[in-house]
Amino acid sequence: MSVYDQLGDSLDSPLDYVLSQRSASVHQMVREAIRRRDVVLAFQPVVYTRRPLTVAFYEGLIRLLDDKRRVIPAREFMGVAETSEIGRIIDCLSLELGLVALREEPSLRLSINMSARSIGYPRWTETLHRGLAHDPDIGERLILEITEASAMLMPDIVAVFMADLHKRGITFALDDFGAGYTAFRYLRDFYFDIVKIDGQFVRGISGNAGNQVVLQAMVGLARQFDMFTVAEAVETAEEAAFLAEIGVECVQGYHFGAPALTPPWKEDADPVLLRPRPAGGAPGGG
């Protein structure tokens, strides 16, 4: 009996079958990479709009290496993996690698992605507590990015989780802001320190009047709730100039630096990094 026959009525069309096969293939690739420990972080700078040569912090982006040692970005597997146990393990590995980087470079400020689904996952919690026990000051240099879509799945749980970790100095960023159409009433309850504006509103912004209005509204809303703003996917000087003009505080994108497996502080460079800030505040000094 074929796999398709075994799945039977759960597949409505050949397209469903193709998608299910791709999902299974992605899961297998991820599992194999994890088994080989071929999991790394790529580091991308987030810079101040008014001082674009000054890095506010870095984002640590999870990458897998396939069996041919090719680098696989998260967009190729997280969509399939996020809702499963594999997604929880990836979040644990991201945090573990991020904590290692923070221990190795005392001047580093680093953001790490996680899904709200990982809140309460024992291995993730143990990884964080172990890292903070080793060096409590790490909490003041760690930023946890939670996607807007996953935060909206369980807003009450996310709010309690954030309130608890804020006490340990950890900063929180709402990732992909605008992509999931947040219920804005939750913003006040969440107390996110940073909002990262989704790239769909940023690309070509200097010539898109509609997105300009939306983006200005987002910046105004963030300012109302005392949240620091970061625009994602900035790829041109024109985009960066417009974002600075409307008051976006930081920008991230290929115009300022691609994600790099070897970060500046491992290239005998002196990274210009933000000093640790008090618990609960935004990345100051901008």
The total number of residues written for the chain in this structure: 286
Q: Given this model, what pLDDT does residue 206 score? A: 86
Domain residue ranges of the chain, discontinuous segments joined by +: 1-36, 38-266
Q: Given this model, what pLDDT does residue 183 score? A: 57
Q: Given this model, what pLDDT does residue 283 score? A: 52
Q: Given this model, what pLDDT does residue 15 score? A: 45
Q: Given this model, what pLDDT does residue 281 score? A: 44
| Helical spans, DSSP H, in the chain | 3-7, 14-36, 78-81, 85-104, 122-134, 148-151, 155-166, 185-190, 209-224, 237-245
Residue-level pLDDT, tens digit, the chain, 286 residues: 433 243 344 445 544 544 455 677 888 889 999 999 999 999 999 999 999 899 999 999 999 998 889 999 998 888 888 888 999 999 999 999 999 999 999 999 999 999 999 999 999 999 999 999 988 899 999 999 998 888 888 888 999 999 999 999 999 999 988 876 565 666 777 889 999 999 999 999 988 999 999 999 999 989 998 999 999 999 999 999 999 999 999 999 999 999 999 988 887 654 443 332 333 344 543 3
Q: Given this model, what pLDDT does residue 9 score? A: 45
Q: Given this model, what pLDDT does residue 270 score? A: 47
pTM, entire model: 0.85
Contact of 259 with 280, CB cutoff 8 Å: no
Q: Say how far apart CA 169 and CA 232 lie, in whole Å.
A: 24
38-266: which CATH topology?
TIM Barrel (3.20.20)
Q: Given this model, what pLDDT does residue 227 score? A: 93
Q: Say how far apart CA 222 and CA 203 lie, in whole Å.
A: 20
